[in-house]
Structure 1
Amino acid sequence: MAISYRDAVFLYCLKQIKDERSIYSLFHLFQGKKSSQTIQDAHLYKLTPFFRALPLITRIELETIVKEFVSRGFLEQVASENFVLTIEGETELNVFQKCVTIPPKFLEGWKYHHLTTLFWERLSLLVQVSSNLINKNKGFIPIQNKQETQEWFKKFLKMQNANRYELAEQLYIELTECLHQEKSIEPAVLVLRLTGHNKIGLTSEQAAERLDMTTTHYHLEFLNILHYMIKTVSTMRNDFPLLSSLVQDVQKEVPLTLSTEKTFQLLDKGYVPNEIAAMRNLKMSTIEDHIVEIALHVKEFELNRYVHPDIEKRIMEVASKTSAKKLKQIRDQVDGANYFEIRLVLARNGGQKWN
């Protein structure tokens, strides 16, 4: 029996982490857990597209999928929570990937997870309101009922210098232009979900059935098209003034977690890690987690304040030579390096191509 799209996604992610992380690291990744370990793993194993991509998955579902893979001969257990793909598993994944791209081309869970829901809520409400206004129907029930979304939308409408017909026309022009620019996406994935005058958008399940997709495949394609649109309208604001304004007031870069931001501010003031740990009544290991997260996000971060250049070079040599991301493997081969230094170097250089 051929593998499903869901199977292929999980096999792909398991292949990326090899046996170096437990299966539950994927659970935290799909859930979008904002821990330093999950964030670092997402970058190290090139799994940032899947960050918060499947937030409804449960630990039991994940365990069931892994058990199925083992029984089908796709996975081999190497530790209590660690598995590696068998030759058969690799073969099944390779065959599937010849037909379907995994991850989808524009899926960027880590980069856009904080914008995705907001963009969709605002876009779907704008389409609904525009459609009903040009049909002179004021008695419709808004498709989005979040108070903050509706309050933003009222302010947004007041700022527009166009009448209802001009606004609707501009929206149509920008939507069609944006969706037709990229041949790899299927506009119906988005359009079927939109609500307008005398038209109720389909649910995710209904749209998946209409397009003959599994629910997992449809969900990731829906995220893919939203991420594509966010990226396109944000980088081409002059071409998409209306659509880009849907996220113009929101921070584009992924913010540091709140606790890490406080640590960053204190580091910026000249305090050293052990002083910050004492001031904030936190463990030193927690402050180190924060510094690793900062290294991942802040380009100006000075790594050599914490890692000697010679040690950094040796860590990179071992990591590149063995493709190892297990800290103990690297520490055993780099005299004088501690786990914090290794994590920092991997965080800063994780974007480089490993063997």
Structure 2
Amino acid sequence: MGITYLETVVLSILNKINGERTIYSLFHLLQGKRSSQTIQDAHLYKITPYFHTYPTVTRTALEKMIDRLKQRGLVEEIAETKVILTEKGKRELEQKLGDYNLPEHLNGWKYHQVTDSFWERLTLLIQVSSNLIHHERSFIPVRNKRETHIWVKQYIRQQNEDRYKLSERLYVELISALDNEKTRPELVVLRLTGFKKIGLTTMQASEETGLEPAHYHFEFLNCLHALFDKVVGNEHTYPLLSGMIKKAERSVPLTISTDKTYRLMQRGYTLEEVAAVRNLKQSTIEDHVVEIALSIKEFNIDDYVLKEKRERILQAAYQNSAKKLKQIKEQVADASYFEIRLVLAKFGDKEWS
């Protein structure tokens, strides 16, 4: 029996983690847990595309899947709740990846706060526009959130043009934004509701396309994220679609606790002073600094790690393709684990051979 699409995703992530984190790190990744540890791991192991992409996953379901993979000899446990792929598992994974590529445009870390609200607004706007041009005012809205209804009404008013031009503009933008050789736009179109046309549910679309539910889900997200890649920062070409994404939602915010630390740092507090003021452990504040380095591009780490030491840390990481902090520290003995984590957070996106 071959492995399922979801098992392929899980094996692919486990292969990158390579037993250095527990299976629950994968659970927190797919759920999108906004903790410093999950965020750091996502960047360190280059698995940010999967952040918050399968929030319906449960601990029990994941544990059972890992047990099945162990029973079939695809993974083996090297420590409690830590597994690595066996040679058989690597072969199975390679074969599956040969059958179909994992989504290339998936970017859960960048778009997880935009996706749901955008989809709700888009589907309701399309339904309203479609019915308006057919002079149909009596229909059941595809979305029931009051805030979405209010937003769409206000957005239509803001455009200040007749229903036909608005619908045509929306159609043209959507056709262009969905046009991508590496995605399947029909997976999105199947879900759209219009005049005398009811969009399919996720399960119905899965059955219609012959894809496993998880496969359909990830390919659907892939389409939306590919659309975002085109739309975000290209407002002149896609004014309607771009307007559906709040500017405030386009940047990934810090976790609440980290944001409080960052505000104190901006006021000139040292890390020791921040820890004292907030009555938190120094290690917790250091976690916050690493998260800041991951989330804020302009954040400068020169005050925390000397440039010369930074270069030695990066060299050690490059030479060993090392993600294990202990291996790097063995080569850069005068560096603290905090300094190593901070350097990898800031510059770890560089490709290591």
TM-score (norm 2): 0.96
Q: Does 1:173 align with 2:172?
A: yes
C-alpha contact (below 8 Å) 2:49/2:108 kept by paired residues = yes
Secondary structure of the residue aligned to 2:76 is strand
Q: Residue 59 of structure 1 aligns to which amino acid in structure 2?
A: R
> How much identity, in percent, do the aligned residues show?
50
Residue 146 of structure 1: CA displacement? 1.5
For 1:111-156, what per-residue CA distance to the aligned partner results, in whole angstroms no more than 9, with x for missing partners? Answer: 0000000110110011000011111111212211222212211211
C-alpha deviations, 1:280-316, integer Å up to 9, x for none?
2222222111100111122222212112223322322
Q: Does 1:115 align with 2:114?
A: yes
Q: Count residues with an aligned counterpart.
A: 353
- Stretch moving more, 60-69 or 113-122: 60-69
1:142 and 1:217 mapped to 2: Cα distance? 28
Q: What residue is the counterpart of 1:211 in the other structure?
A: 209
The answer to whether 1:309 aligns with 2:324 is no
Q: CA deviation at 1:248?
A: 4.5
Determine the structure 2 residue equivalent to 1:153.
Answer: 152
Letter in 2 for 1:220: F
Q: What's the counterpart of residue 55 of structure 2?
A: 55
- Is the CA contact (8 Å cut-off) linking 2:130 and 2:167 kept in structure 1? yes
For 1:115, give the aligned amino acid. V
**What SS does the corresponding residue of 2:62 show, helix, strand or coil?**
helix
> Could you say which residue in structure 2 is the equivalent of 1:29?
29
Shift of 1:51: 0.2
Q: 5 Å matches for 1:37-116?
A: 37-102=37-102, 104-116=103-115
- Counterpart CA distance in 1 for 2:225 and 2:142 is 21
CA distance in 1, matches of 2:265, 2:146: 37
Look up the equivalent residue of 1:86 and give its one-letter code.
Answer: T
Which amino acid letter does the alignment assign opposite residue 186 of structure 1?
R
Question: In the alignment, what sits opposite 1:7?
Answer: 7
Structure 2 unaligned runs (5+)? none
SS at match of 2:139: coil
Take 1:118 and 1:250, find their aligned partners in 2: how far apart are those partners? 13
Distance in 2 (CA, whole Å) between partners of 1:295 and 1:330 is 19
Report the equivalent of 2:249.
Answer: 251
Cα distance in 2 between the residues matched to 1:300 and 1:168: 40
CA distance in 1, matches of 2:146, 2:134: 25
| Equivalent residues of 2:19, 2:84 under 8 A apart | yes
Aligned mates of 1:248, 1:35 — CA distance in 2: 24
Q: Distance in 2 between matches of 1:100 and 1:46?
A: 20
Which is further off, 124-133 or 314-323? 314-323
More displaced stretch, 237-246 vs 200-209:
237-246
Q: Residue in 1 aligned with 2:236?
A: 238
TM-score (norm 1): 0.95
How far 1:191 moved relative to its partner? 0.8
RMSD of aligned alpha carbons: 1.4
Alpha-carbon distance in 2 for matches of 1:263, 1:64: 39
Which of 49-58 and 156-165 deviates more? Answer: 156-165
Aligned to 2:339, the other structure's residue is in SS state helix
Within 2, Cα distance between the matches of 1:59 and 1:330?
A: 32
1:222 shift after superposition: 1.0
In structure 2, what is the Cα distance between the partners aligned to 1:154 and 1:317?
A: 55
> Could you report, residue by residue, the CA deviation over 1:21-56 in whole angstroms, capped at 9, with x for unpaired residues?
111110000000101111111111110110001101
For residue 16 of structure 1, report the CA deviation from its aligned partner.
0.6
In terms of mean alpha carbon deviation, does 302-311 or 216-225 score higher?
Answer: 302-311
Give the secondary structure class of the aligned counterpart of 1:247: coil
Choose 81-90 or 117-126, whichever is displaced more.
81-90
